[in-house]
Structure 1
Amino acid sequence: MIGTPRTALTVAVAALALVLAAGTGATASLMISGKQIKDNSVTSQDIKNNSLKVKDLSAKAQAKLRGRTGATGARGPAGPAGPAGSVGLPGLQGIPGLSGFDVVTVTQNIPALSGLVGGTGQVSAACAAGQKAISATSSYASAPLDQLGNLLSQVTRTADDAFTASGLNLSLTQRTLTLDVVCANVAG
């Protein structure tokens, strides 16, 4: 049979395909997978130089690669000064100064309980001219502890320089209500 150029080309392509198919199968059969390698059988001689990366190593091996922390280096020169900050907000007005403290004390007798009606009374105290009343307190003089529940008082500011104390006595004995007003000179 006489071959034509077309037949020769077909035979050549078929032969090339046969060679490639045979070679691929042989190459695939020569590939070794991790499952086929016995544990602890690969040594450093079997690994190509510069082919492993740090991420391929275990955490323990990676930790061994880190050295100890070195000494701290010398301090560098100071950097240039930064820009000036903006001007802050103005502060609040300060509290006026206090001086010349005085305590004004006034007393008033509060009558005893009469029938079912308690004794009542009121006492007022004012500071000297130019002073202001800072605080005030009231108390009953010489009252036994067991009768303190029978004695009531209330302190009320009546002006910048004065307080008043009102008292109610539900005990069987007359009591003395004391009002103490703290006065001071207030600057400003």
Structure 2
Amino acid sequence: MPEEVVQSDSNTVLASIRVSGNEKGFSFYGGTSLQVQIDPAWTITPTDIFIGSDGVNPPAHTFTVSADDVSSAGLLPHAAGIDSGVYIGYDPLSDQWTFLVSNAAVVRLNFVITASSSVTGLEPINFVNADNALADRLFLQHENGFDHVSAAAGVDLPLPCGSVTAADFDNDMDVDLYLVCTTPATNRPNILYENLGDGRFQSVLNAGGAA
């Protein structure tokens, strides 16, 4: 499963980051004081979490950092993808926080960051596919095989949905499509595609519960 970073509301950042001999992370502006939760606890210890240019270790996997604390400034120098750890730093000149995950092995870490004030400008760092979505594909079966009809049917959008079921949800004798959607950091609304009866489908607004 790929990595993801999202802002679930004005004060909350959620991230799920996987590294393997490289470094990835994210940055944002503002926030002043941040409550940071990093898990799973068995993957990393607080001694592998480094805050500021001096690499201060927090007391636990849930901790607070503040822009007003001089020990939060800067990032501990390290070799990306070789040195293992989470590197957190604040730039007082730009008001920007940076979070980096580096490891020579395969590691996935999850972050929940709750800020005391609004954050802006959330950006992934070194993500290969930041939206984690591939274009949907629809194949219709016939006696000689399958036809790829995604574009013509209108179901070729890049959506983070991993499961689909086909059924007549609106009792009009046409088979509709129900997509179950999620991403590494958060759940996404499920999607109901109504069959229009002419080979095309359209998304039904607010019908993610198939109501």
User: Does the alignment reach a TM-score above 0.5?
Assistant: no
Structure number with higher helix proportion: 1
Larger Rg: 1
